[in-house]
């Protein structure tokens, strides 16, 4: 990195340490979580670890400042996507600073934000905070926002929950108040095998799956015509999409089984179930009767895969105005197409959230992932002002 753009040493040190933990979602994140717990403890801050069933992973939740009132939550996921099969020009698990960019897996998504938050700890404890800061770090976000749900179960039973949340996914430090929700499903079509010379004896699972897929396509094609439409998104409406499909054993056998998965990505004020119903209505009312006329044992069934709710925080909500004031950003809040844990926090535990963090999602999940040092500095300044603000006042006056 050029001399003029070097990050401050506390931030660099923390960032290096976080990137060095290989927290690919398939691995345990406990080394990182224990490191954070110990670091917090050194500053007199205790943390709660909320483990997964196998005790191989954990969320961390901590409150800095008074614990008898709601504060501002800084939240991020600790896991990263795999580097398998990606051609990196540097070691993905060591932070390399070069030409104003910080390279490494998770630099943008989203250890840069966590490093900014944690390296402020000395300032957070230096003088008492009037309004607390909550830290919430999760696991298994990258495989469907799985880990944070256990933390939400705990928070649900608490009298004191964060008054607002900032989820530090990479948004170029823009305040994001809305994103789409997502839900996936796996469909299993059970047909009946037969010699392919006697097709009338069988129920072709692949062909019925294909009919259902065509129907999914028809449902999708109606959406742009009838809406709802929100031009703030690059794809301004909800979408349906079919992914992997398997079925059939040999060309001379009528296939008795076909499986495929599909997903809905919906505007925050819609539900994924609304679209599932349209798909399954066709399956149950049109396709299954035709299949079962040949063999009553045949069927079309569906099971849910991973998903998360959309985020639909009002554009003038307190959390939006609060963050924009700290950033001195007078633009309208933006909307993003990718998902985050923010929707879960607001839906499950009523914590109004925005997404705001350093770096670009376009650099995330790619080889040579990086975050611009200038973005890290903006985030540093943002959290610096947050700490300053919470030292002197409550949240109301924003
Ligand atoms: Zn992320």
**Distance (Å, whole) CA 135 – CA 130:** 16
CA of 145 relative to ligand 1 center, distance in Å: 10
**Distance (Å, whole) CA 103 – CA 83:** 13
**Distance (Å, whole) CA 138 – CA 376:** 21
The answer on pLDDT for 321 being more than 90 is: yes
Predicted local distance difference test score (pLDDT) of residue 227: 86
CA of 110 relative to ligand 1 center, distance in Å: 6
The answer to whether the beta carbons of residues 357 and 112 sit under 8 Å apart is yes
One fold for both 3-179+310-392 and 181-308? no
CA of 357 relative to ligand 1 center, distance in Å: 10
The answer on pLDDT for 263 being more than 90 is: yes
What does the pLDDT average to over 176-187? 97
Predicted local distance difference test score (pLDDT) of residue 2: 40
CA of 77 relative to ligand 1 center, distance in Å: 7
CA of 221 relative to ligand 1 center, distance in Å: 30
CA of 199 relative to ligand 1 center, distance in Å: 49
- What residues does each domain of the chain span? 3-179+310-392, 181-308
Q: Distances in Å between the alpha carbon of 123 and those of 40, 126, 162, 219, 243?
A: 13, 5, 20, 53, 48
Predicted local distance difference test score (pLDDT) of residue 1: 40
CA of 102 relative to ligand 1 center, distance in Å: 17
* β strands within 128-180, DSSP E: 133-138, 164-167, 176-179
Predicted local distance difference test score (pLDDT) of residue 117: 98
Q: How many Cβ atoms sit within 10 Å of the Cβ of residue 374?
A: 14
CA of 180 relative to ligand 1 center, distance in Å: 15
CA of 338 relative to ligand 1 center, distance in Å: 9
CA of 247 relative to ligand 1 center, distance in Å: 33
Q: Is the pTM of this model over 0.85?
A: yes
Token readout for 52 is 């997964």
CA of 363 relative to ligand 1 center, distance in Å: 11
CA of 141 relative to ligand 1 center, distance in Å: 7
Q: What is the pLDDT of residues 112-150, one digit of tens each?
A: 999 999 999 999 999 999 999 999 999 999 988 999 999
CA of 46 relative to ligand 1 center, distance in Å: 25
Q: Which helix (H) or strand (E) covers residue 354, if one does? A: strand 353-355
CATH number of 3-179+310-392: 3.40.630.10
The answer on pLDDT for 4 being more than 50 is: no
The answer on pLDDT for 101 being more than 70 is: yes
The answer on pLDDT for 5 being more than 50 is: no
300 burial class (0-12, 13-18, 19+ CB within 10 angstroms)? buried
The answer on pLDDT for 398 being more than 50 is: no
CA of 66 relative to ligand 1 center, distance in Å: 29
CA of 168 relative to ligand 1 center, distance in Å: 8
**Distance (Å, whole) CA 79 – CA 77:** 6
CA of 335 relative to ligand 1 center, distance in Å: 16
Q: Give the pLDDT band of residue 10 (cuts 50, 70, 90).
A: very high
As a whole-number percent, the residues of the chain with pLDDT over 70 amount to: 98
Predicted local distance difference test score (pLDDT) of residue 394: 76
Predicted local distance difference test score (pLDDT) of residue 64: 98
The answer on pLDDT for 225 being more than 90 is: yes
The answer to whether the beta carbons of residues 367 and 87 sit under 8 Å apart is yes
CA of 171 relative to ligand 1 center, distance in Å: 10
Predicted local distance difference test score (pLDDT) of residue 8: 93
The answer on pLDDT for 224 being more than 50 is: yes
**Distance (Å, whole) CA 97 – CA 370:** 9
Q: Distances in Å between the alpha carbon of 217 and those of 168, 171, 257, 290?
A: 35, 31, 21, 20
Q: What is the CA radius of gyration of the chain?
A: 24
**Distance (Å, whole) CA 75 – CA 355:** 9
CA of 274 relative to ligand 1 center, distance in Å: 27
Q: 50 forms bridges with which residues in the sheet? A: 59
The answer to whether the beta carbons of residues 185 and 304 sit under 8 Å apart is yes
What does the pLDDT average to over 27-52? 97
CA of 364 relative to ligand 1 center, distance in Å: 8
Predicted local distance difference test score (pLDDT) of residue 393: 79
Cis link prior to 28 (omega < 30° from 0)?
A: no
DSSP states of 319-351: HHHHHHHHHT--SPPEEESS--THHHHHHHH--
What burial letters (b/e) apply to 115-133, b meaning 16+ CB within 10 Å? bbbbbbbeebbeeebbbbb
CA of 226 relative to ligand 1 center, distance in Å: 32
**Distance (Å, whole) CA 180 – CA 311:** 6
The answer to whether the beta carbons of residues 310 and 266 sit under 8 Å apart is yes
Token readout for 29 is 């994140």
CA of 109 relative to ligand 1 center, distance in Å: 5
CATH 2.40.10.10 fits 181-308, yes or no: no
Q: What is the pLDDT of residues 42-82, one digit of tens each?
A: 999 999 999 999 999 999 999 999 999 999 999 999 999 99
CA of 225 relative to ligand 1 center, distance in Å: 32
CA of 330 relative to ligand 1 center, distance in Å: 26
């Amino acid at each position: 990195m050029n001399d003029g753009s070097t990050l401050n040493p506390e931030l660099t040190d923390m960032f290096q340490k976080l990137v060095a933990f290989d927290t690919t979602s398939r691995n345990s994140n406990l080394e990182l979580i224990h490191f954070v717990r110990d670091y917090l403890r050194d500053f007199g801050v205790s943390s709660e670890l909320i483990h997964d069933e196998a005790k191989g992973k954990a969320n961390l939740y901590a409150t800095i400042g008074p614990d008898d009132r709601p504060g501002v939550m800084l939240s991020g996921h600790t896991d990263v996507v795999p580097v398998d099969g990606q051609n990196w020009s540097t070691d993905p698990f060591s932070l390399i600073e070069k030409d104003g960019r910080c390279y490494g897996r998770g630099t943008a998504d989203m250890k840069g934000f966590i490093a900014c938050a944690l390296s402020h700890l000395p300032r957070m404890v230096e003088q008492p905070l009037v309004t607390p800061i909550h830290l919430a770090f999760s696991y298994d976000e990258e495989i469907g926002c799985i880990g944070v749900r256990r933390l939400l179960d705990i928070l649900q039973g608490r009298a004191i929950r964060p008054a607002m949340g900032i989820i530090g996914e990479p948004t170029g430090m823009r305040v994001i108040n809305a994103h789409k929700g997502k839900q996936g499903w796996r469909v299993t079509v059970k047909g009946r095998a037969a010699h392919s010379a006697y097709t009338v004896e069988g129920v072709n699972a692949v062909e019925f799956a294909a009919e259902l897929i065509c129907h999914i396509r028809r449902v999708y094609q109606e959406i742009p015509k009838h809406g709802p439409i929100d031009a703030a998104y690059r794809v301004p409406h909800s979408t349906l999409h079919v992914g992997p499909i398997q079925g059939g054993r040999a060309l001379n056998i009528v296939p008795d089984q076909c499986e495929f998965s599909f997903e809905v990505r919906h505007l925050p004020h819609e539900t994924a179930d609304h679209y599932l119903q349209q798909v399954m209505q066709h399956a149950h009312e049109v396709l299954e009767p035709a299949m079962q006329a040949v063999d009553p044992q045949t069927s079309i069934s569906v099971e849910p895969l991973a998903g998360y709710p959309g985020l639909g925080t009002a554009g003038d909500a307190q959390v939006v105005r609060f963050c924009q004031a700290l950033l001195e950003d007078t633009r309208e809040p933006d909307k993003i197409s990718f998902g985050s844990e923010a929707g879960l926090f607001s839906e499950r535990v009523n914590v109004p959230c925005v997404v705001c963090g350093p770096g670009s999602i376009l650099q995330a999940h790619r080889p040579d992932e990086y975050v611009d040092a200038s973005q890290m500095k903006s985030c540093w300044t943002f959290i610096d002002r947050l700490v300053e603000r919470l030292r002197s006042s409550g949240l109301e006056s924003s």
